[in-house]
C-alpha cells in the first residue's frame, strides 16, 4: 500500500533530523572546513545520496543549522524580555541551558558549532546571520542584570561586561562538556547565580 502524504512528510522530517544531528557532531569534531558529506553520512549511517536528496551541499546543510540557531536565539530573547523577576528569569535561562547539556542529545555540540561560526565567521557570513539574534539575547540579559542591580540583588558592575562574562562562561563549560563527556562539566546553576548575586551558599 502506498504511503500517505503525511507518512512521506514524517519520513522526510525524520531523515532531515538524522542528517542534521550527524552534521552537528561532525562539524563539532572537525570544524566546517574539514567536514565532508561523506563523514556526515557515515556518522548518520546512511548513504551520501540520502543526504543529497535533502540538501544540495554541505553549505546548504549548515545554512539550515544557522537558521535553527537564529530561531532559537530569537525565542530565548523573547523569554528573557517577557518581564518578571530578573533573578528568576536568569535562573530559568541557565537551568534550561544546563538541562540541554545534561540531556546529551547534541545540544552541546550544536551550541559549540554555532558559537564557533559566530566568533570566527566560518563559513563566511555565519556571524552576520546570527548577529542580530545574538545581540537581542545579550541585550535582554544585560537589561535583567541592570534591573537586578537597581533592586540591589545583583552585584555592581557594567551590565554589558557582566553579560559577556556570563556567556563566555557558558561557552567554556560547553566546550569542556563536549571534550570530556562528563556530567561534572555541566553548568552548576547555583554557582553561576551566586557569581551574579554575590550571595553565599
Segment 67-71 mean pLDDT: 95
Lowest mean pLDDT among 46-50, 55-59, 105-109: 105-109
Q: pLDDT tens digits for 126-176?
A: 999 999 999 999 999 999 999 999 999 999 999 999 999 999 999 998 888
What's the predicted TM-score (pTM) here? 0.88
Whether 51 and 69 share a structural domain: no
> Do 102 and 47 belong together in one domain?
no
Shared domain check, 122 and 34: no
**Co-location of 84 and 167 in the same domain:** yes
159 and 72 belong to one structural domain: yes
Contact 12, 21 (CB under 8 A): no
Q: Are residues 2 and 95 in the same domain?
A: no
**What is the domain range of residue 108?**
64-197
DSSP 25-65: HHHHHH-TTT--HHHHHHHHTS-HHHHHTT-SSHHHHHHHH
Residue with cell 546548504: 60
pLDDT digits (tens, 9 = 90+) for 3-55: 687 776 788 899 999 999 999 999 999 999 999 999 999 999 999 999 999 99
Amino acid at each position: 500500500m502506498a504511503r500517505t502524504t503525511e507518512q512521506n512528510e514524517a519520513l522526510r522530517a525524520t531523515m532531515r533530523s538524522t542528517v542534521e544531528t550527524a552534521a552537528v557532531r561532525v562539524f563539532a569534531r572537525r570544524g566546517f572546513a574539514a567536514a565532508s558529506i561523506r563523514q556526515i553520512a557515515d556518522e548518520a549511517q546512511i548513504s551520501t545520496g540520502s543526504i543529497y536528496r535533502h540538501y544540495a551541499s554541505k553549505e546548504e546543510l549548515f545554512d539550515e543549522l544557522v537558521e535553527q540557531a537564529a530561531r532559537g536565539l530569537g525565542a530565548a530573547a523573547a523569554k528573557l524580555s517577557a518581564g518578571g523577576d530578573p533573578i528568576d528569569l536568569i535562573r530559568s535561562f541557565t537551568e534550561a541551558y544546563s538541562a540541554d547539556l545534561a540531556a546529551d542529545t547534541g545540544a552541546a555540540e550544536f551550541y559549540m558549532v554555532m558559537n564557533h561560526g559566530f566568533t570566527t565567521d566560518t563559513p563566511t557570513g555565519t556571524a552576520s546571520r546570527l548577529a542580530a539574534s545574538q545581540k537581542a539575547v545579550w541585550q535582554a540579559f544585560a537589561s535583567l542584570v541592570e534591573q537586578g542591580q537597581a533592586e540591589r540583588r545583583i552585584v555592581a558592575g557594567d551590565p554589558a561586561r557582566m553579560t559577556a562574562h556570563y556567556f563566555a562562561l557558558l561557552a567554556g563549560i560547553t566546550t569542556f562538556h563536549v571534550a570530556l563527556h562528563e556530567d561534572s562539566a555541566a553548568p552548576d546553576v547555583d554557582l553561576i547565580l551566586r557569581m551574579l548575586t554575590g550571595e553565599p551558599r
